[in-house]
Amino acid sequence: MLTDYKMLEIAKKYIKLNEEEINIELIIVEQLTIIKPYGNIYSYGPKDPKYRLAGNGPFLVKNDTGIVIPFGTAMDVDYYIKGYEDGTWKPASYGVWDPNHN
């Protein structure tokens, strides 16, 4: 099992990849972190509030593997959490990021 510290480090690496693509500094909004038995769900946004982002939905860092699973933005985060937990929502395979293979 990964510690909260290690999962946060993975989350920061993940948003760093996004940051490099869009050339806007991003931050994890730590007070919005949702802790679940299977991992932590992080939210992020631009460090500078003058920027607005689209498509920056929350994401899960699994505590058994470190794999990052982005949730969508069309629905509230609770929709994705419920769907993930009951198996009715599946992430797109192209969106899953494995920090162990990058």
Mean pLDDT of 14-24: 91
pLDDT in tens, 56-99: 889 999 999 999 999 988 899 999 999 999 999 888 766 799 99
So what's the pLDDT on residue 102? 61
pLDDT-based confidence at residue 41 (cuts at 50, 70, 90): very high
As a whole number, the mean pLDDT across the chain is 92
Q: Within 13 Å of residue 59, how many CA atoms lie on the same side as its CB?
A: 25
Buried b or exposed e, range 49-79, using 16+ CB within 10 angstroms:
eeeeeeebbbbbbbbeebbbbbbbeeeebee
Mark out the alpha helices in the chain (DSSP H runs).
4-22, 77-86
Give CA–CA dist 42/11, Å, rounded.
7
So what's the pLDDT on residue 93? 66
